[in-house]
Amino acid sequence: MAESTEIQKVEKSDEEWRAQLGDMGYKVMRKHGTERAFTHDDFPKEPGVFVCAGCAAPLFDSETKFDSGTGWPSFYAPKDSDLVGERVDRSLFMKRTEVHCNRCEGHLGHVFPDGPRPTGLRYCINGVALEFRPKTD
């Protein structure tokens, strides 16, 4: 059985987050906004890891990325489930499952039960909340 590691939290002031993330990144990650569809899915298709734009936590692997046709980067599983947290989101007059980075509490997007095998999940993530790091040998 794998040991659970303690996650070192990242905390910053609103001014520090705004300076680091820019206007859209701040709106999405700190204020739970959403970027428009098809505005930020231009990541390379090569092997690599998608890290949190707020704290560089490794959130998703390129091997789990798929084209959902929704206009947002989509993955069927997180790289490390300890780093991607979930909570109920009742905004917009509906019940959804919001996902966030457990290290910096940055809003990432939502998870839906309509993804491909093997999990059947679709982590629908705002591209501005991610940075791509190519795999190095």
> What is the set of active-site residues?
124
Q: Which run of H or of E encompasses 6?
A: none
* CA distances from residue 51 to 89, 99, 118, 133 in whole angstroms, order as listed: 23, 14, 22, 7
Give the Cβ contact number of residue 18 at 10 Å: 15
Give which of 116, 106, 28, 29 is closest to 69, Cα–Cα. 116
- Tokens (6 digits) for 87: 């909570």
**How far apart, in whole angstroms, are the C-alpha atoms of residue 106 and residue 4?**
21
- Tokens (6 digits) for 37: 């569809």
Q: Which run of H or of E encompasses 18?
A: helix 14-31
